[in-house]
Structure 1
Amino acid sequence: MKSESDKLVNKHKQLNQTDNAKVISHVQREDGDWVRHTLMLEGLEVPFVFRRKQQYQNLKGARVNLTYYRHVEDVAGIEFETMKVVRIKRS
Structure 2
Amino acid sequence: MKKTTAKSLTDKHAALIHSEQKTVISHVQREDGDWYLNTLLLKGIDVPFKYRRKKRYKSLQNQQVNLTYYPSTESVAGLDFEFMKVIRIKLS
TM-score (structure 2 length as normaliser): 0.95
Question: In the alignment, which residue of structure 2 is the partner of 1:11?
Answer: 12
Deviations 1:16-69 (A, max 9, x none): 001000000000000000000000000001000000000001000000000000
Matched, 1:64 2:74: no
Write the distance in 1 (CA, Å) between the matches of 2:77 and 2:36.
23
User: What RMSD over aligned residues (CA atoms) do the two structures have, in Å?
Assistant: 0.9
What is the percent sequence identity of the aligned residues?
Answer: 53
Runs of 4+ in structure 1 off by over 2 angstroms are: none
Q: Which residue of structure 2 aligns with residue 36 of structure 1? A: 37
- Give the gaps of 5 or more residues in structure 1: none
- Number of aligned residue pairs: 89
Q: Distance in 1 between matches of 2:5 and 2:84?
A: 19
